[in-house]
Structure 1
Amino acid sequence: MGFPVSLRIDDEGDFTGAADAVFAWLREADVRFSPFKPDSEVSRYGRGALADGELSADLTEVLGLCADLRGATGGAFDARLPGRGFDPCAVVKGWSVQRAAGLLTAAGARRFCLNAGGDVFVSGGPWRVGIRHPEQADQVCAVLAVTDAAVATSGGYERGEHILDGRTGRPATGLLSLTVVAPTLTEADATATAAFALGADGPAWAAARTGCEVFAIDTARQVLRTRGLPVAQGLP
């Protein structure tokens, strides 16, 4: 998937098997859904080698999520950008990590933090989750107190201008970073990416989605955040 994944479990007991299952599933998801592997289900679907009736239930679910986001953003979020192959990574990342969290819950884990490339799902809590400053890598611009929820951030400071506005095919503009807190990482990660693609309209759009709280910094260095954002007490 191109990013590090870490897991911390604070419950008593042996969760080695559950942890192994988490990483086995994420490796499986990478093999099945990577658009960079020519034999993956996503790549075969993207080049027309699979008909709709041949798709797995998982890919059908991912396609539905992509279509919903495309409609909700008026095309700003699009897994089928002109000149590029079908790429659902912005949906698959959060979706697959949330399923991994479900494996832990099913195994009896109640207090854990699953961190996938800086996007996290936490069970129990509160956990303190920092939002990295988009222009100062050694600083955080806010610290959240999160319980049984997910936090995802989109921006250009790690991978450059990789988020495109599907309406124009050009890199999204208007925001330096946008963070979403939501009940699941499926929702948080996809919403953060879609909102960033929307540019200046993204924070309000994300804030209007059910269960989402937002922290954003625009290109004028203005901070935009929702009233329900779970900021840790005594911190910015």
Structure 2
Amino acid sequence: MSTMTVAPERKAWVEQVMGMPISIHLRGQGVEGEATARAVADAFATLREMDSIFSTYKEDSQLLRLRREEVAIEDCSPLVREALAIGEEAERVTRGAFTTLLPTATGDLAFDPTGLVKGWAVDLAARRLTGLPGLSYCINAGGDLLVGAHADLPRTGPGSISWRVGIEDPRDRTRIASTLELTEGAVATSGTAARGAHLYDPRTREMVSRSGSVTVTGPELVWADIWATALFVGDADTRDAFSRYAPDYLSTEL
């Protein structure tokens, strides 16, 4: 007697948030349910809320109003204080290779947690999806992504749902340099291939223009993204800090 394996259902949603397309993909049984639709809507609402707080493009964002001294930090969302704390911790553990003090258009340094907000926003949005029985999810935000699943789904073996993730060759963007298979975890890549010299090295006070990329995988997207940036702009001291402070994360340099 043979047992038929039922292929997982699939569904995807895409919205423009934070100046980029962010997609939510679900696989499993029950992707069309009402509870699923509510959870996805809540996840996108979380992403839009983070954008309304931390956008460096929207003039009415809390971040820009704070920088213009129109409001005090006490008037802002508690997430602003949390962003400050995450940034301070990131600067400490990366030994200065990551910072939330970035150059403005006029060349001054100002609080700008852009380097951590996207990954953090995805981590928070994913909490809306983890309670969906029988479903695995992948949130893709500009090529950085987070994979997870309900606790009732196995992470290995029969019944597990894996996602195949391609890592782009930074010197030939038409080519996939390597692939990963994940049932849960985050993948973040930093480099200059897509956006040029946009990563700031706080120790030299210059943008990094070298070619290549660093991809970091681990449990949380916020820290995968922080470490990918730090390792790309950093040096041997940063790599030593990564080995010491991020034992659950792995890096690949291309």
- 2:177 is the counterpart of 1:141: yes
Matching residue of 1:100: 125
1:132 Cα deviation after fit: 0.4
Matching residue of 2:249: 212
- 2:64 is the counterpart of 1:43: yes
What residue identity is the alignment partner of 2:126?
A
- 2:196 is the counterpart of 1:160: yes
Quickly say closer, same or farther: Cα 1:206–1:174, change in 2 above 3 A.
Answer: farther
CA RMSD of aligned residues (A): 2.0
Q: Which 5+ residue runs of structure 2 have no aligned equivalent?
A: 1-17, 150-160
**How many angstroms apart in 2 are the aligned matches of 1:163 and 1:63?**
19
1:50 Cα deviation after fit: 3.2
Q: Greater strand percent: which structure?
A: 2
Matching residue of 1:22: 43
State the SS of the aligned residue for 2:100. coil
1:204 Cα deviation after fit: 4.6
1:197 Cα deviation after fit: 2.3
**Deviation by residue 1:187-210 (Cα, 9 ceiling, x = unmatched):** 111221222221565545434413
Quickly say closer, same or farther: Cα 1:52–1:99, change in 2 above 3 A.
Answer: same
Q: Answer whether contact 2:218 2:224 (CA < 8 A) is retained.
A: yes
Q: Answer whether contact 2:95 2:237 (CA < 8 A) is retained.
A: no
Q: Which 5+ residue runs of structure 1 have no aligned equivalent?
A: 218-236
Matching residue of 2:157: none
1:89 Cα deviation after fit: 0.9
Decide which structure has the larger Cα Rg and report it: 2
Q: Answer whether contact 2:170 2:211 (CA < 8 A) is retained.
A: no
Name the stretch that deviates more: 12-21 or 48-57: 48-57
**How many angstroms apart in 1 are the aligned matches of 2:227 and 2:133?**
29
**How many angstroms apart in 1 are the aligned matches of 2:199 and 2:188?**
15
**How many angstroms apart in 2 are the aligned matches of 1:112 and 1:43?**
33
State the SS of the aligned residue for 2:128. helix
**How many angstroms apart in 2 are the aligned matches of 1:156 and 1:141?**
16
- 2:143 is the counterpart of 1:118: yes
The alignment of Structure 1 onto Structure 2 pairs a total of residues equal to 217
State the SS of the aligned residue for 1:66. helix
Q: Answer whether contact 1:207 1:214 (CA < 8 A) is retained.
A: no
Q: TM-score, with normalisation over the residues of structure 1?
A: 0.84
**How many angstroms apart in 2 are the aligned matches of 1:195 and 1:109?**
36
Matching residue of 1:226: none
Q: Answer whether contact 2:53 2:77 (CA < 8 A) is retained.
A: no
Q: Answer whether contact 1:9 1:109 (CA < 8 A) is retained.
A: no
Q: Answer whether contact 2:192 2:211 (CA < 8 A) is retained.
A: no
Q: TM-score, with normalisation over the residues of structure 2?
A: 0.78
**How many angstroms apart in 1 are the aligned matches of 2:71 and 2:131?**
33
